[in-house]
């Protein structure tokens, strides 16, 4: 299979911009999504333990030291919702969190060198089983380190998402470690390496909260699309 660039664009509202009370009074826009009480639900070690969510599910994947737990904690406004480990590669489970309007699935980190081949194969199998049931997955955030070129594992993961036609956004972590100029350069270079438009990447920092609002906007769009698709009648000949 070949890699191809996927562009997700927001549809403009019909009839152009509507001037409501808020725009007329210049009231500041409300945040796209407000996360109030994010809670841990359960962990799954095998496919038969995966949950069937009753709301949109967003998966988070990435290399084992990319800062997944910090990213999840930033979204949740909580310091210790997702456990950060000093030993990368410790998360061997799929961890589910209830974020109110959506479920977040934290997937096992991949590509950690000091893990046995058998352990790596086990992780690959878990990820494979999880993504096989793609009807349950509304969107995937694939995390990559903003300071470095994408690794072979990152490229493989992205090809895998393309192959399974899963909608995804690349989230760059640790953006606070770079100057604004360097970050701009790195976004451009990483987008080129991954054959993506720069609009498919969101740079974030769990330290400063940079990029958080953009991620929440993306999630709000995903939730809205799920609701719209849920309301659409299924035409004859189409499978559910």
> What is the C-alpha separation between 194 and 235, in angstroms, rounded?
36
- Strand-pair partners of 110: 63
- Which tokens is 153 given? 């594992």
Task: Give the separation between CA 23 and CA 14, rounded to whole angstroms.
Answer: 17
pLDDT tens-digit map of 177-221: 999 999 999 999 999 999 999 999 999 999 999 999 999 999 999
As a whole number, mean pLDDT of residues 122-132 equals 84
Mean pLDDT value of segment 148-156: 92
To the nearest 10°, report the CA torsion of 143, 148, 151, 154: 20
Contact predicate 59/136, CB 8 Å: no
Rounded Cα distance, 41 and 53, in Å: 11
Considering only residues 118 and 28, tell me which one the structure prediction assigns the higher pLDDT.
118
Q: Which of 38-42, 115-119, 174-178 has the lowest mean pLDDT?
A: 115-119
Q: Tally Cβ neighbours within 10 Å of residue 216.
A: 16
Phi, psi of 231 (to 5 degrees): -80, -15
Task: Quote the tokens at residue 101.
Answer: 């309007």
Please report the beta strands in 129-197, taking only residues with DSSP state E, as ranges in sequence order: 139-145, 168-173
Residue 173 has pLDDT above 80, yes or no: yes
The predicted structure's pLDDT at residue 171: 98
Q: How many of the other CB atoms lie within 10 Å of CB of 76?
A: 20
Query: pLDDT band at residue 15, thresholds of 50, 70 and 90?
Result: very low
């Amino acid at each position: 299979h070949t890699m191809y660039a996927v562009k997700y664009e927001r549809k403009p509202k019909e009839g152009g911009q509507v001037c409501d009370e808020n725009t007329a009074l210049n009231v500041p826009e409300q945040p796209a999504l407000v996360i109030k009480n994010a809670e841990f639900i359960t962990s799954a070690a095998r496919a038969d333990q995966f949950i069937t969510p009753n709301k949109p599910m967003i998966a988070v994947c990435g290399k084992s030291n990319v800062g997944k737990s910090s990213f999840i904690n930033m979204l949740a406004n909580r310091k210790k919702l997702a456990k950060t480990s000093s030993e990368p590669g410790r998360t061997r489970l799929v961890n589910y969190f209830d974020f109110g309007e959506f479920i977040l699935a934290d997937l096992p980190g991949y590509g950690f060198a000091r893990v046995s081949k058998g352990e790596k194969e086990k992780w690959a199998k878990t990820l494979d089983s999880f993504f096989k049931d793609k009807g349950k997955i509304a969107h995937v955030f694939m995390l990559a380190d903003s300071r470095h070129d994408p690794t072979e594992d990152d490229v493989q993961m992205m090809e895998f998402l393309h192959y399974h036609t899963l909608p995804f956004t690349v989230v760059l972590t640790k953006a606070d470690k770079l100057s604004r100029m360097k970050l701009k350069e790195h976004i451009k270079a990483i987008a080129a390496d991954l054959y993506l438009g720069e609009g498919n990447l969101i740079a974030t920092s769990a330290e400063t909260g940079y990029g958080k609002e953009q991620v929440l906007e993306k999630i709000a769009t995903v939730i809205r699309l799920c609701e719209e698709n849920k309301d659409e009648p299924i035409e004859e000949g189409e499978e559910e």
